[in-house]
Structures are given as C-alpha cells and as structure tokens.
Amino acid sequence: MLQNDKDTIVAIATGSGRGGVGVVRLSGENLDVYIKHLTNVAVTPRRAIFSQFLDDSGVAIDEGLLLYFPSPNSFTGESVLELQGHGGPIILDTLVKRCISLGARLARPGEFSERAFINNKMDLAQAEAVADLIDASSVEAARSAVRSMQGEFSTLVNKLVEDMIQIRIYVEAAIDFPEEEIDFLSNDSLFNDLDTLAKKMMSLLAKASQGALLKEGLTLVLAGKPNAGKSSLLNALAGYDAAIVTPVAGTTRDVLREKITIRGLPLNIIDTAGLRDTADEIEAEGVRRAWGEIETADYVLFLADSTDNIQCDLKSIWPDFFKRYPDSNQKLVLLLNKIDLSGLTQAELDSKENTFAISAKKQIGLDAFFEYLCQDVGYLNQTEGVFSARRRHLTALERGLDLVVIGTQQLRLAGAGELLAEDLRQAQKELSEITGQFSSDDLLGRIFSSFCIGK
C-alpha cells in the first residue's frame, strides 16, 4: 500500500560494494535536525559543501560533500540531504545508522521514487523509466528509458487522453440532451475523430512495443537431442566457454543462462540438457527441466545435427514436441547444425520456413537467423523516438484500443451511443493507468516495491 507518511527516510543511494564515492540520501519534510547533528558547517541549498559527518559524540565517521535540496526543489519534492562520502559498506552503513538514531527510518524499496510520484514530481511511467534506466542492459534500452523519464511517453499518453475527453464530451452531451437531436450516425466528423484516435493509439503502441522489447528482451531456449551442439552454440553466442562441450552425449544436465545483446536487442539464451529417455536420474532431471524451459520460452531453437538428419522439417525431426503440445502456437525454429561437416547450405533450405543451416563451432549462418528473429518480433534496430515501456503499458494501450474500436463499431452498426460512451470511459481509465492518474494503491504499491532500496 502507498503510505503517504511524513517519516524521514534514509538509504544508501549508490550500488552495493566498494567504490571511490558512496552516497547516503535522506528525504523528509524538515531535515534541520540532521544537518545540525551530522555536520559542523552551515549548508547552502544546492551547493556542495565539504564537511565531516559526525557521530553522536561529535567524532567524524567520514568526511565528504554535503548537498542540501530544500523542498520542493528536489527529486522527491521533500527536503533532501545527500551525504557523499567514501564508498565503503561499513562507512555507509554507519552513516545510515547514525541517521536512524536521529529519527529517520530505512526507506522501503522504491520509496524515494514513490514520494516523487506522490508529490507530483513525476508520473508513474516516468518513475518506472528511472528504474528501467538504471536496469538498462544496452545503450539502446538506456536511450529509450531516458526519453520516457523525461516525459515523452507520458506526454503522448496524455494527448491521447485529451483527444478522448473531447470525443467523450461530445458523445455524452448528445446522450444527455436528446432533444438537440444530434444524429450520431450521420456525423462523419465523429467517426473521423474516432478513427484518428485509434490510429494514434496504434502508432503509440508500436513505439511502446519496441521499448518493451528493448527492456525485457527475448528468451531463447536451445533444445535438441544430446550432442546436437546446443552448448557449443551457447558458447559461441556468449563469446566465452560458459558451458562444458564434449563429444559425450548427455554432457549438459543443468539449465545454463547467458544474457547477450544482438543489435541492441537483449536476449536471454538458455542451454538445456539433450532430450532423450534415460535411466540416469540426474540426466532425467535435466531433461525434465529442459521441457520446463521450452514451455516458457519466447522462441525455442531446436538444434539438430545436419550430418544425420536428412529430413528438414520440425514435425519429422521433433515429433515429441507436437505430441506434448498439439495446439501450441509457440515460436519454433530449426537450426541444422554442423554444416561445416555436412556441407548443407542455406540455399538448399530456402523453401523451408524458420529453418537455418548453421555451424555453432565455426560460427556460420547465425546472421541469417538473427535477421529473421529481428524481423519476426518487429525489432527495428533504431531507437529514434522509441520509449522504454513495460508490459503493463502495452496491455493498457491494447485494452484501450480494443475499447475504442468496439465502441466505434457499436455506434456504426447499432447506433448505440451509450455503449460507445461507456467504452470510451473505460478506455480513458486504461490510459490513465499508464501515468498513474487512475491507478489503485495496490498496483502502485506493487510497482514501487519492485524497485531497489535507495531508488
């Protein structure tokens, strides 16, 4: 639950571990008592002042820079004090404890951002973008997070809400004052407005989808019979010997995960045990886990040894999958490996969908696969105008768009103005959830608590 409490909160703002500089941050309504007891100098707002940081008997715990941001001109909108000392865990912990002894309490995860949100310093999408910027796994993801943090995404969402309100005013008025006899159906401009609104929502959804892709990436599972070359491919992609590779069938048992970036797109690559029936208890557990990963992956890359596979389609090579999941709509890709030995070429496979001739060991043929992957997920590899976005933003936009489309149809086909009005009201609510204008405390609490402490 969001707590709009007045406690002064404190946390280490810099990353864990040792570093040249470490920052402890305090936020609260009135920080005079902290300034008085922690320092022996006079502070000037927004000016870095060199000072000792004192314990309760006036002995220095550390020394460094003090930065004071009186409310409301701070990150949280409250008064904020930053103690920039040396980046050792013991020093920073001692400083935090000292602040607690002066009355502060340890901040909950995301509480600084939460207060910034409560005090209207930023909306929800912006606060999420701060967390996404810190977590960004590629330059592209970081760029798009900065754009969202600066409010570009929120501005476009707010414009959509504004357009929606204009249409709602008209529709509601027409319903409330039937004597004016506004004829919905013969009003082309209303349909035009609805159409334009849906198009704008689609375009924002496309950009936001790019952002979500950049943030969340894709999970690719390497699956196949023992010795197909899964671990070799993992190593080739990771750029180092992450997994053990041997000519012994059944080498890999554990699930191995590597994060890589291809053309700015973050990929989680998962290597699994070779799929086969086995009496070996450990290997059988590995196979069970492999199926678990297969079920949840965005893409399953099934590797097969091209030296002993004359068939080139997944249904014949991997019947087990289709037996288990006859109705699956999961993305499957067939990678025919070891073409350095078999001499198979991509040209021979051109008529086959999602099938690529590769050599994991010699790193041949992987570009064609990545080209396919980027196209398939609609990844543009250009970050111009892309914002970071989360799954929940996409869901809200998708739901909002559906409502607008359905509402328009209700009006067009059945002249049902009331239904359109209700759909538009719901759609506006969906969009407002993105920026947090209409979000329940529960949702807000969940979002902020997923941030780390000190954010």
Ligand X SMILES: Nc1nc2c(ncn2[C@@H]2O[C@H](COP(=O)(O)OP(=O)(O)OP(=O)(O)O)[C@@H](O)[C@H]2O)c(=O)[nH]1
Binding site for Mg ion (CB under 5 A): 230-231, 251-252
Residue 242 Cβ, how far from ligand X at the closest point, in Å? 11
CA distances (Å), origin 376, targets 158, 220, 332, 333: 31, 13, 12, 11
Q: Please, which of residues 252-291 interact with ligand X by CB under 6 A?
A: 252, 273-274
End-to-end Cα separation, the chain, in angstroms: 17
Site string for ligand X, 324-343 (x = CB under 6 A): -------------xx-xx--
State in angstroms the smallest separation of the CB of 419 from Mg ion: 57
Q: Considering beta carbons, is residue 58 or 247 the nearer one to ligand X? A: 247
Which residues inside 217-246 make contact with ligand X, applying CB under 6 A? 224, 226-232, 245-246
We find the least distance from the C-beta atom of residue 248 to ligand X, in angstroms, to be: 7
Among the listed residues 205, 217, 20, the one whose alpha carbon sits nearest the alpha carbon of residue 135: 217
How far is 95 from 299, CA to CA, in rounded Å? 48
Q: Which does 359 bind (CB under 5 to 8 A by kind): ligand X, Mg ion, none?
A: ligand X
Which of Mg ion, ligand X, none interacts with 71 (beta carbon under 5 to 8 A by kind)? none
Residue nearest to ligand X (CB): 274
**Is 207 near ligand X (CB under 6 A)?**
no
Q: Which does 338 bind (CB under 5 to 8 A by kind): Mg ion, ligand X, none?
A: ligand X
Alpha-carbon gap, residue 198 to 190, rounded angstroms: 12
Q: What are the C-alpha distances in Å from 146 to residues 47, 131, 139, 306, 369?
A: 25, 10, 11, 45, 30
| Residue of 187, 219, 251, 261 interacting with ligand X (CB under 6 A) | 251
Cβ 319 to ligand X shortest distance, Å: 18
Closest to ligand X by CB, 106 vs 366, is 366
* 210 near ligand X, judged by CB under 6 A: no
Q: Which is nearer to ligand X, 237 or 273 (CB)?
A: 273
Facing residues of 87 across strands?
Answer: 19
Q: Which of 86/276 has CB closer to ligand X? A: 276
- In angstroms, what is the minimal distance from the CB of 252 to ligand X? 3
Per-residue tokens: 104: 């502060």
Based on the number of CB atoms within 10 Å of its own CB, is 296 exposed (0-12), middle (13-18) or buried (19 or more)? Answer: exposed
How many residues contact ligand X, by CB under 6 A? 25
49-54, strands of its sheet edge to edge: 49-54, 60-69, 79-87, 19-28, 9-12, 105-106
One DSSP character per residue, 105-171 reads EEPPTTHHHHHHHHTTSS-HHHHHHHHHHHH--SHHHHHHHHHHHTTHHHHHHHHHHHHHHHHHHHH
Contact 15, 84 (CB under 8 A): no
Rule CB under 6 A: is residue 249 a binding residue for ligand X? yes
Which residue ranges make up the site for ligand X (CB under 6 A)? 224, 226-232, 245-247, 249-252, 273-274, 337-338, 340-341, 359-362
